[in-house]
Amino acid sequence: MKLKSTECSLKLNNERVSGLQNAIHIEELSKSFKRKRVIKPLSVQIESQKIYGLLGPSGCGKTTLIKMIVGMMKPDAGGITVLGKRVPDASLLSEIGYMAQSDALYTELTGRQNLEFFAKLYGMSKSERKIRIDYAAEIVQLSNDLDVSVFAYSGGMKRRLSLAIALIQNPKILILDEPTVGIDPLLKQSIWKELERLKAEEGKTILITTHVMDEAERCDKIGMLREGEIVAIGTPMEIKAQYHAASLDEVFVKIGGGH
Ligand SMILES: Nc1ncnc2c1ncn2[C@@H]1O[C@H](COP(=O)(O)OP(=O)(O)OP(=O)(O)O)[C@@H](O)[C@H]1O
């Protein structure tokens, strides 16, 4: 069917508008464990097609926040909307590629069998599975080790396989909890290049937690979390200006990361 020019421009406009929408919308979210409040009422918007970094000292609530976004943990109050759907929503499973902080892998299986397992869960055809497995393995440089059992993988190889699994279903959103821990600097560079390409060319939204300041510098926007609250939000340059700091390391120390 051919679209008339007015229909065409309307369609383009709508796509532009939807491209600008927030991919993740968090409102007044809170969470406590026993009597300890880990996430204070917290609101934040994560724009589509951006790399958003979540930074903060150990124990400030980054993983807890992420687990609530992916629907693995229920908040005590408040709400999360991802791609216009209220979490939890089973249809979001294929839209979000999640890489947890600790690797959840089948160690008795090979890398390829792990990837096959997750690809089948997403209902991919055999030919799709082959294309996506080859792509994901290549990105994390595991192509030559795919047929080795995961129990023989090093810590860094396991992290890389977890990242490949997060990419397997070609999700719109990638949520990566400290993805480059244990990964050597050269591969880290190439993973970052691919994350930037995924954003620029494929319109992915990427939410990443990190303690590594040179990674934080590469994010479009960062949210600094302290004791369950977002204490600063902005581009790396804006945050440094706000804290009168020469580097994000200095900001980190100023917000209490040095404790
Ligand atoms: N299931 C749980 N039960 C009880 N307390 C928890 C649970 N999960 C997390 N916590 C506590 O909540 C706080 C925040 O933990 P969280 O893992 O979110 O921090 P984080 O910022 O991701 O830390 P790190 O940078 O070290 O990974 C910590 O004090 C932690 O002990």
Cis peptide before 236 (omega within 30 of 0): no
Please report the pLDDT score of residue 226 as a whole number: 93
Interface confidence (ipTM) of the complex: 0.97
Query: What is the CA(63)–ligand 1 centre distance, in A?
Result: 7
Phi, then psi, of 82 in degrees rounded to 5: -120, 125
Residue 101: per-residue pLDDT: 86
Confidence of residue 190 (pLDDT cuts 50, 70, 90): confident
**Is 12's pLDDT higher than 60?**
no
| Probe target for ligand 1 pocket from 40, 60, 209, with the most ligand atoms within 8 Å of CB | 60
> In a 3-state reduction of DSSP, which class is residue 149?
strand
Give the pLDDT confidence score for residue 16 in this predicted structure: 42
The pTM (predicted TM-score) of the whole model is 0.89
User: Which residues in the chain belong to E strands, given as ranges?
Assistant: 22-33, 36-47, 51-55, 77-82, 85-86, 96-99, 173-177, 205-209, 221-226, 229-234
Q: How far is CA 60 from the centre of its chain?
A: 18
Lowest mean pLDDT, pick from 3-17, 109-123, 179-193: 3-17
Predicted confidence (pLDDT) per residue in 170-179, tens digit: 999 999 999 9
Q: What is the mean pLDDT of residues 69-82?
A: 96
In this structure, the residues whose C-beta lies within 6 A of any atom of ligand 1 are 33, 38, 56, 58-64, 101
The Cα–Cα gap between 235 and 53 comes to: 10
What is the pLDDT at residue 254?
Answer: 85
Query: Rounded to a whole number, what is the distance in angstroms from the first to the last CA of the chain?
Result: 62
> What local confidence, expressed as pLDDT, does residue 166 receive?
96
Instruction: Check residue 259 and give its pLDDT.
Output: 44
**pLDDT exceeds cutoff 60 at 10:** no
Q: How far is the CA of 167 from the centre of ligand 1 (A)?
A: 25
Domains of the chain: 23-95+204-259 (3.40.50.300)
Lowest mean pLDDT among 12-16, 81-85, 113-117: 12-16
In tens, the pLDDT along 108-127 reads 999 999 999 999 999 999 99
Q: pLDDT over 90 for what percent of the chain?
A: 77
pLDDT in the model for residue 257? 57
Please state the atom number of ligand 1 nearest to the C-alpha of residue 73.
Answer: 1
Q: Phi and psi for 243 in degrees, rounded to 5?
A: -95, 10
